[in-house]
Amino acid sequence: MSLSKYGLIGEHLSHSYSAIIHNRFFKIHNIDANYELIEVSEDGLKDLVDSLRRGEYQGFNVTIPYKVKVMQYLDEVSSEALKVGAVNTIAYKDGKVIGYNTDYYGFLDTIKRHNIDCKNKNAYILGNGGACKACFSVLDDLGANVNIVSRSSHMSYGELEQLNDIYLMVNTTPVGMFPNVDNMPVKEEVKDKAKYIIDIIYNPIKTKLIDGKEQGYNGLYMLVSQAIKALEIWLDIRIDDKEDIYQYLKEVI
């Protein structure tokens, strides 16, 4: 049987730990497969999607900036991805290329892991890209009062600075990501006013935004959880060793 190939599609991927997660899973489960990082320009997106139809790859994850742009090349989009309006996982099933959104499940698992009760609470999402859409859907489903904070639309950062009741703040922007680790998407006083902060960045593990914050959490568990969900989709199996892979990743990075 030939080697199965999977990969992450994005623009700049030097910060990614996805290959570590997936290749660790393949190794411990004796699966003859490999996961690679695939940096591609927008012009190459369609051909990569078509490579699933040609059998060159068996599945993809999708990250910044292609979670929305890739949807035009798919045959179908799952219900949760349709609701979110973004795709981060692609599979070839029954002759069709189908898009899914496992970020939704990854963020939901993160909320549950930290026992954050969002119902009727004020939540503010920084950024309005593909990851924002998944986080918004989760918080909306959990009954939170969700606001999107963006420099181009929705609530402005200036308006956010005027608030006092910030129960949960979620950063979905790349501000603070490696290598620009000294940057922060909001001012220090806004950070101080938030009861909970989830920064979905995972490299570095402790961004400036959550540094010193007792109830500040990174995106590493979300990364592992969404990756496991993608593997379940690709392989049509139930996976129960999410925690083991999460602990392994923490040890090796």
> Catalytic amino acids?
67
What amino acid occupies position 143? G
With left for phi above 0 and alpha for psi between -120 and 50, is residue 52 left, alpha or beta?
alpha
Which residue, 208, 210, 205, 201, is CA-closest to 182? 208
Q: In a 3-state reduction of DSSP, which class is residue 20?
A: helix
Torsion of CA 173, 7, 19, 239, to 10 degrees: 100
> How many CA atoms lie within 13 Å of 249's alpha carbon, on the beta-carbon side?
28
Contact at 8 Å (CB) between 149 and 170?
no
Place of tokens 């068996």: 58
Q: How far apart are CA 56 and CA 44, in angstroms?
A: 15
